[in-house]
Structure 1
Amino acid sequence: MDTDFDTPGSYALLTDGSCVLIRPAEPEDWQAVHDFAAALGSRSVYRRFFGFPKNPGRVMADAVCAPTPAVQPRPRGALLAFLGGAVVGMAEWIRDSDPEQAEIAFVVADLVQGRGVATLLAEHLLDEADQAGIQTFTAITQGENRAMLDVFTTLGLPVHKVWDHGTWLVTVDLDLLAAQRVALLDAAARRERIADDASLRPLLDPDSIAVVGDPQDSATLAVREHLGGFAGRIWHAGADAADLDPDARVQLAVITSPPHLAAGAARVCGAHGARTVIATATGFDDASGRALLDACRATGMRLLGPGSLGVVNTGVRGGLNASLAPGPFTGGPTGVAVQSGGVGLAVLAHLVRLGIGIGTFAAVGDKYDVSANDLLMHWEGDEGVHLGLLHVESFGNPRKFARTARRLSRRMPLLAVDPEQSPNQARTALYAQAGITVVPTLGALVCAAALLAHQPPPRGRRVAVLGNTRGMLSLAVQACVKAGLDVVAARNVTATADAARLRAALTETMNAEPCDALLIALAPTVPVAPHGGLADRSVLEAVTVPVAAVLAEQAETVTVLNAPKRAARRNGKARPARSPVPCYNDAAMAAQALAAAAAATAARDRPEDHEPEVGHTDRAAARSVVEGALATAPRGRALYDSERAALLEAFGIPLAHGAYTAGAGPARRLTVTAWQDPVFGPLLTCLRDGDSGAEATLLVPAGAQELADLASAALPADETGRRVDGARLAEALGRVAALIDAFPQLASVRLNVIAEQDGMARVVTGDVHVAPSRRKDPYLRRLRRAPVE
């Protein structure tokens, strides 16, 4: 039996969270297609065939499963949707006399209509059309067949309809999709979030759980103990699940079994209705990993792990701790997604110690299926989560991750640990474009989380610093400057400052200089009490900005100075208690936390940055160049000068024809490079010749402002202070980005560019390499084929 790794096609989710396989039809599918068509109701048969063929099963199976002639371009194709091993939907295309045009048709099993099968097939059909060089879809549908028309409406496609004697003649111009790309991607993302959230509901809010594993194993014992507060039904079974109660109906299976038993246990749980599986064991090899994922896919279960610590969800009745992490956990607005179980345990321990409430937590482990992308989509629909903490070691779909995170970062801070933090790294570009605030260490993540969880976010980077000694004040100011903060005030309140004097100094500072945050740095002094009077709740009464404190004598890197549990009263009216104050034992950590919080605010407030519209392009001409080169060299080659010129001109990229002659004023020589990264997809850089600095890298597609910033960075003012207008360079960069995004066969593009004083940017020379590629649309709705990707 084929596994998920061997079967062509993709698994994807319907609107109710069910998992379907979408793949091309094969001759071996004849019986499955026959049975599917034979079971269609009369209304569905009439809509598909415009009549009632004597044997609709045979007619459809013969047409769809006939061997495809080995000619190019392919004359036809069909996609099938399988649910539980049976065909539940079909999408077919037949190329017209015009090789760039094809007629399409859909049909969905009566029992699954309304669950998004046709829409999902249409999305995958669009991807196949792109691979097949089809630019126009046509369809003929009956006037009363609203379901067919709704497919196009739901997708947001540019549809042209003509009414003709009771039927609609529908035309979809796929070349127009680029102009509506943002709207189309947003609509697809909404559909994906609905389906993904439905599939995760049995994981994060199950009604019943089966704990499967050796009852003497420490992991099994831990899971059982931590589920003590679960409000639903819990079933128990041994490592192979053979003794699972025959009457058990479960939604979530937590499997602690070793790798060689995990797949069998998953199959048993799937037969008992399980929709999700958590696999905690590590050490899966290729064979056992394939077997586990295949068992889950066969019954439509989502898989968290293997090597997962589990999940925590405090927002459900009774709370859910289906993990190896000991609780209890206080509910709150923080979402946590990590890959490593050890990192997860450390983060949870710190959050508990600091009184930071947890909404949802998941450790994705080896992420064969559920990944950080899924958690981001879940948080997007969870209004109770206001802070996201991430530790992601690798990416399965970086571009979709970045797009999802960018939507989420407009609503709440997202923090991630990235020890590399090198400006020439693609992952750094991903985090920046996604609006994720990056910190270098796990400790820095905890420090920033303490500030953002307990204090309001700062509005900017202006900070006022108070210290009770000259040394502490100096250390704090230097730390703020190094962290990139703007110090607008620095005040020494002296070593004898008690609560009253500290309160007066804070009030005076707030009134004298507008600031976005306060940093109070205190060294131990005699006879002033510990915390320098900060424990007195009245000290911070007049403060309206976030506060961080440095307590030099503190042993822990960060603690929280708690406010009174009850609100104080003034003039008979309740007055809210001051938020807890995060206290650090080092000024550098406090300053870095403030800087991270300010960066998260800037990411939240950054205007939405869409990719620029790239007009006056000839995709057909560009495609002809690329496909022509690969026809002569199937393994790839460099384009000839004439081919390179034709390709660039097709996308409106300015060329300097003939010998280059400098214009008036100084010119800048630049190198623009774009290439296909095997993990992150197309990337773009622009660097001045002779510049030894690190390259700024953008993930493609990039926003108009991001391209403008890249152009500006490459065109600094000269020694006389004159600058080159970067608008035309930014436009050229946008066209290069659009080109490499449209054609994954462009393995690399390296262009030598001259930017004139008037802003005109022209390509003088360059190199373009093409290579065969089967890269799928990164935004296509499909589940990961782990551990392959």
Structure 2
Amino acid sequence: MDQPEPADRRGYPVEWEADVVLRDGSTTHVRPIRPDDADALQRFQMAQSERSTYLRFFAALQRIPDRLLTQLVTVDHVRRAALVAVRPGTEHAEDIVGVTRYDVTDDQPGRRTAEVAFNIADALQGQGLGSVLLEHIAAAARERGVHRFIAEVLPQNRAMLGVFREAGYDVEQHLDDGVVTVSVDLDPTDRSREVMADREHRTEARSMQGLLSARRVLLVGPADAGTAVPTAVPTAVPTAVPDAGAQDGTDTPDIDHLLVARVREAYAADPGDTELLVLGDDVTWADLENGATVDLAVVAAPPAEVIDAVRRLRGTGTRGVVVLSAGWAETGPAGIARRRELLRTAHGAGMRVVGPASYGLLTNVPGASLRASLALTAPRPGRVGLFSQSAPTAVTASETVKRRGLGLSTLVSAGHRADVSGNDVMQYWQDDPHTDVVCLYLETLGNPRKFSRIARRLALVKPVVVVVAGRHGSVVPPGHTVRATRAPRRMLDEVLRQSGVIRAENTHQLMDVAQVLAHQPLPAGGRVGILAGSPSLAALVADAVAAAGLTVVGPLEPLSAGAPDDEIAAAVDALYGPDACDAVVMVSVPVVLPRTDAMARAVARAAARTGRTTVVSALGLHGMPDVLAATVPDGLPGAGDEIRIPAFSTPEDAVWALGEVVRYARWRAQDHGRPVRPALREGVSDGVARTQARTLVESLLGRHPEGTVLDQDAATELLACYGLTLWGSRRVRTPDEAVAAARDLGWPVALKVASPALRHRADLGGVRLDIADAEDLAEDAERMLAAASALLPGTDPVLEVQAMAPTGVACVVRSVEDELFGPVVSFGVAGDAVDLLDDVTHGVPPLTDVDVARMVRGVRAAPRLFGYQGAPEADVAALEDVLARVSVMAEDLPELASVELYPVAVAERGASVLHATIRLRPAERRTDALRRALPG
């Protein structure tokens, strides 16, 4: 085989580099191979066992011959590519621990096939590195137009056969002459996506488990810290304040000393179940180099010292490092470079990074609590997991939890979220038996596609409540690097709704909802009974219940706070009677008499007895007060357990929180549908149809490297690959050409001005419909050409003749490839509803059939599709099919910069795509590509 020319640095695909998590929760770095890797590759080969060598090369090959070695490290990253997994070495800068490569064997466009091979270090076999490398080399191959892998594997290499078989791709294999030939179709499938998500979940959850189960914590301060650290600090410690006068943007030593002192004071106040080792006091670098072990490091020092500390922690068993101090990406390009070096150093050594500018980690697991934080005291143990990015927000949320008596299982502050993010913690919380409710305070969504995927999976088993800083989630605080987005501001709301999470506007609302979810069962419905101390309060609560989308049931007769016990008991028993309601709101604000707890205690006992969801707003009660606690009676499920009813400052707060919990309960109980996977093209398999689409896109971008707008023929061909038929039309410049086109297409016809400014403007003379003969068409064409020339001076107007489609409701279906969200599909009923009122729904593929149905029914103009004012009902199923096919096409082809189908005429039977505008551009890697990778 001819060797390709060595790739220069301009051709080096840096975007293929990634840090990955392995099965045991440790990390490593994956990157394209380079010519200077020859020595490392030879060392890797020589360290392999005889069995591993034989399984890879089908021969005993202790040392790679020089010529073959040169060939293996010399690639062009197109027809021949290779990736290596590397870790820092003991005697060399890097050691290779795994390698995969492909070589194209069949270069026909649309059928490009490559031979693939893998070799994993003996010490890492069984850690999932083979499956990770398969994901990454498959993603790289798809980017280079490779659609199929072929591998020759010995039958006894069961591990490698298992990697192919368990990846979820369509795999074929056959045995010939003692060798198994495996053929892998690289088209992603529902199964391959599910496999990737499952493996990602397990590895990231285990990675977080390694941090949150730490028992030996090392505290590292500035170089002159140690015993010189003061033993007391002010109550308010600036946790992440760069020195305004420092030229390099790093923290001053005084701030770092204060941070270290605060951690020591916190451990003294509340040590948890861990051992704190202070560098310079309890342990030295020499001790660590001589075998002393550490589970977790907490570091407050200037960036250069932090990076050096992480480097020196290699080999100590450290699973992660919490960086308290700032001075990184928020300082500019130099700080971004420092952060990149920190991540590369930590991930290469198998560690995760929490921070910078983190408030730390807290866990309240009985017998295994952790206090790697600046918090002097921890909230009491509870069932709520709390994630916050910024340290100040973590302080606020933590104090709010304490004040309300809510209780936490875990607190994680990610600071600038350089590595560990809310996504990682959600992966951990999904299986954490100590966490029932997940709360996140987010300043940015760095990867909304992954967030949506993880949150949706988590919300099916545990409620997720989210606050996103800034009303629209568009605030990017210093220190956070986030891709720009052009998506509509309400896109974030759509992502959260699609994920099933509850969105709160602030910390107050976050805790309001958490109170209900942590201590009350999910309501069976939205029927609300009201127990109020006055008619005005009952009316106020009834209005709030209606505004929350709930239904008031039962009488609204007030019950005085001073009523006798038997009267209170009768009213409470009636309210909590079988099937009387799904939830209860109690409101009590005595005006003259002092507050008594009789009503509160009666309600608490009834709630414990019936399991009825209950919320309270009573004067002097807030959070989780003891007076609203009761024990489940014997003979009932959960007998002996204590339940607490949440108390709120105002009735409106109580009802709002209840309304959000009811909505979540409905979402969780409903059918979430299945991913839309329509058969794409009649007469061919979906794989062939996708190959045809990719081949066409590759061909068009080959002729137009900077991107292009497709002409009608190309748009028709591309849409046909996904089962979408574009209604035929002809472009003309004269009345005679228009008549000739109509005779070819068939009467009656529609006539439109081809210019985008007029083609949908019937009010400006840009559209004529249902033209039945040549004379009328010629006259209309002449008038429209004249009108277009007047409205668009300096242009040479072009008309479009199109056979009339069945009359129906005109709709618009669009998709835009967004830098942050990836493909964003939208739907609207064409006309003023879209153009003036922005009456549009959005969705982020992959969509389910339920998502598609919601999008169609979610616009305010949707009644026009369902027989509005006596009109015939439109074929909504056909419209949903069009929307589903566009979403699949947008998901498959990141080169689709934008797609607009406008109008789509939805008749009583069928939906006709009358016009399409499709723009291509070179694809950019999506934030949630089909490979597992940590932030880079």
TM-score by length of 1: 0.91
- Give runs of aligned pairs for residues 430-449 of structure 1, distance below 5 A: 430-449=495-514
Alpha-carbon separation, structure 2, partners of 1:35 and 1:769: 49
> Which residue number in structure 1 is paired with residue 843 of structure 2?
698
Secondary structure, in 3 states, of the residue corresponding to 2:570? helix
- Is 1:653–2:724 an aligned residue pair? yes
> Which residue number in structure 1 is paired with residue 327 of structure 2?
283
Measured at CA, do residues 314 and 526 of structure 1 come closer, stay the same or move farther in structure 2, by a change above 3 Å? same
Secondary structure, in 3 states, of the residue corresponding to 2:156? coil
**Structure 2 counterpart of 1:482, one-letter code:** A
Give, in angstroms, the shift of residue 543 of structure 1: 4.5
- Is 1:583–2:583 an aligned residue pair? no
- Is 1:486–2:576 an aligned residue pair? no
Paired residues of 2:28 and 2:350 also in contact (CA < 8 A): yes
Alpha-carbon separation, structure 1, partners of 2:386 and 2:86: 34
> Which residue number in structure 1 is paired with residue 42 of structure 2?
34
> Which residue number in structure 1 is paired with residue 99 of structure 2?
90
The one-character-per-residue Cα deviations of 1:103-135 (angstroms, maximum 9, x if unpaired) are: 111111222211112111111121112111112
Given candidates 240, 260, 263, the residue that maps to 1:220 is 260
Measured at CA, do residues 541 and 117 of structure 1 come closer, stay the same or move farther in structure 2, by a change above 3 Å? closer
**Structure 2 counterpart of 1:313, one-letter code:** T
> Which residue number in structure 1 is paired with residue 625 of structure 2?
561
Alpha-carbon separation, structure 2, partners of 1:297 and 1:576: 47
Gaps of 5+ in 1: none
Alpha-carbon separation, structure 2, partners of 1:736 and 1:676: 12
Paired residues of 1:499 and 1:539 also in contact (CA < 8 A): no
> Which residue number in structure 2 is paired with residue 348 of structure 1?
398
> Which residue number in structure 1 is paired with residue 582 of structure 2?
516
Alpha-carbon separation, structure 1, partners of 2:914 and 2:584: 53
> Which residue number in structure 2 is paired with residue 420 of structure 1?
471
Given candidates 170, 177, 192, the residue that maps to 1:158 is 170
Alpha-carbon separation, structure 2, partners of 1:238 and 1:769: 62
**Structure 2 counterpart of 1:629, one-letter code:** L
> Which residue number in structure 2 is paired with residue 310 of structure 1?
360
Give, in angstroms, the shift of residue 735 of structure 1: 0.7
- Give runs of aligned pairs for residues 372-451 of structure 1, distance below 5 A: 372-418=422-468, 420=471, 425-451=490-516
Measured at CA, do residues 42 and 243 of structure 1 come closer, stay the same or move farther in structure 2, by a change above 3 Å? closer
- Give runs of aligned pairs for residues 65-464 of structure 1, distance below 5 A: 65-68=73-76, 74-84=78-88, 85-99=94-108, 100-175=112-187, 177=188, 181-213=189-221, 214=225, 215-216=229-230, 217-228=257-268, 229-237=271-279, 245-246=287-288, 247=290, 248-270=292-314, 272-284=316-328, 285-315=335-365, 317-418=367-468, 420=471, 425-464=490-529
> Which residue number in structure 1 is paired with residue 248 of structure 2?
none
> Which residue number in structure 2 is paired with residue 733 of structure 1?
883
**Structure 2 counterpart of 1:289, one-letter code:** R
Give, in angstroms, the shift of residue 530 of structure 1: 3.6
Secondary structure, in 3 states, of the residue corresponding to 1:292? helix
Alpha-carbon separation, structure 1, partners of 2:430 and 2:47: 39
**Structure 2 counterpart of 1:468, one-letter code:** G
Alpha-carbon separation, structure 1, partners of 2:489 and 2:912: 25
**Structure 2 counterpart of 1:220, one-letter code:** V
> Which residue number in structure 2 is paired with residue 783 of structure 1?
933
Alpha-carbon separation, structure 2, partners of 1:290 and 1:541: 53
Measured at CA, do residues 646 and 482 of structure 1 come closer, stay the same or move farther in structure 2, by a change above 3 Å? same
Measured at CA, do residues 43 and 234 of structure 1 come closer, stay the same or move farther in structure 2, by a change above 3 Å? same
**Structure 1 counterpart of 2:38, one-letter code:** W
Measured at CA, do residues 97 and 567 of structure 1 come closer, stay the same or move farther in structure 2, by a change above 3 Å? closer
The one-character-per-residue Cα deviations of 1:131-167 (angstroms, maximum 9, x if unpaired) are: 1111221111112221221111221222111111211
Measured at CA, do residues 65 and 505 of structure 1 come closer, stay the same or move farther in structure 2, by a change above 3 Å? same
The one-character-per-residue Cα deviations of 1:410-442 (angstroms, maximum 9, x if unpaired) are: 111111114536985222122112111112221
> What is the percent sequence identity of the aligned residues?
27
Q: Which has the larger radius of gyration?
A: 2
> Which residue number in structure 1 is paired with residue 695 of structure 2?
624
Measured at CA, do residues 286 and 157 of structure 1 come closer, stay the same or move farther in structure 2, by a change above 3 Å? closer
Give, in angstroms, the shift of residue 243 of structure 1: 5.9
Alpha-carbon separation, structure 2, partners of 1:566 and 1:771: 63
The one-character-per-residue Cα deviations of 1:587-636 (angstroms, maximum 9, x if unpaired) are: 21111110111122123223243211121342222223322222222121
Paired residues of 2:601 and 2:628 also in contact (CA < 8 A): no
The one-character-per-residue Cα deviations of 1:516-565 (angstroms, maximum 9, x if unpaired) are: 100112221443634562135556566541111122x44x7x42232587
Alpha-carbon separation, structure 1, partners of 2:84 and 2:634: 70
**Structure 2 counterpart of 1:205, one-letter code:** S
Measured at CA, do residues 97 and 560 of structure 1 come closer, stay the same or move farther in structure 2, by a change above 3 Å? closer
Paired residues of 2:299 and 2:306 also in contact (CA < 8 A): yes
Paired residues of 1:208 and 1:234 also in contact (CA < 8 A): yes
Alpha-carbon separation, structure 2, partners of 1:723 and 1:550: 47
Given candidates 857, 861, 865, the residue that maps to 1:712 is 857
- Is 1:603–2:692 an aligned residue pair? no
Give, in angstroms, the shift of residue 728 of structure 1: 1.1
- Is 1:749–2:899 an aligned residue pair? yes
Paired residues of 1:255 and 1:277 also in contact (CA < 8 A): yes
Alpha-carbon separation, structure 1, partners of 2:851 and 2:154: 46
The one-character-per-residue Cα deviations of 1:227-267 (angstroms, maximum 9, x if unpaired) are: 3424343211269x976744532120001223343222222
Measured at CA, do residues 726 and 574 of structure 1 come closer, stay the same or move farther in structure 2, by a change above 3 Å? closer
**Structure 2 counterpart of 1:117, one-letter code:** L
Measured at CA, do residues 694 and 338 of structure 1 come closer, stay the same or move farther in structure 2, by a change above 3 Å? farther
Secondary structure, in 3 states, of the residue corresponding to 2:411? strand
Measured at CA, do residues 306 and 255 of structure 1 come closer, stay the same or move farther in structure 2, by a change above 3 Å? same
Alpha-carbon separation, structure 1, partners of 2:638 and 2:426: 38
Alpha-carbon separation, structure 2, partners of 1:451 and 1:666: 51
Give, in angstroms, the shift of residue 367 of structure 1: 0.9
Give, in angstroms, the shift of residue 352 of structure 1: 2.1
Alpha-carbon separation, structure 1, partners of 2:545 and 2:717: 53
Paired residues of 2:519 and 2:644 also in contact (CA < 8 A): yes
Alpha-carbon separation, structure 2, partners of 1:654 and 1:28: 52
Question: CA RMSD, aligned part only?
Answer: 2.9
TM-score by length of 2: 0.78
Structure 1 window deviating more from structure 2 (732-741 vs 332-341): it is 332-341
Paired residues of 2:201 and 2:427 also in contact (CA < 8 A): yes
Gaps of 5+ in 2: 1-8, 89-93, 231-256, 329-334, 474-487, 682-688, 730-748, 751-768, 771-803
Give, in angstroms, the shift of residue 694 of structure 1: 4.1
Measured at CA, do residues 68 and 191 of structure 1 come closer, stay the same or move farther in structure 2, by a change above 3 Å? same
**Structure 2 counterpart of 1:580, one-letter code:** R
Paired residues of 1:242 and 1:268 also in contact (CA < 8 A): no
Paired residues of 2:573 and 2:606 also in contact (CA < 8 A): no
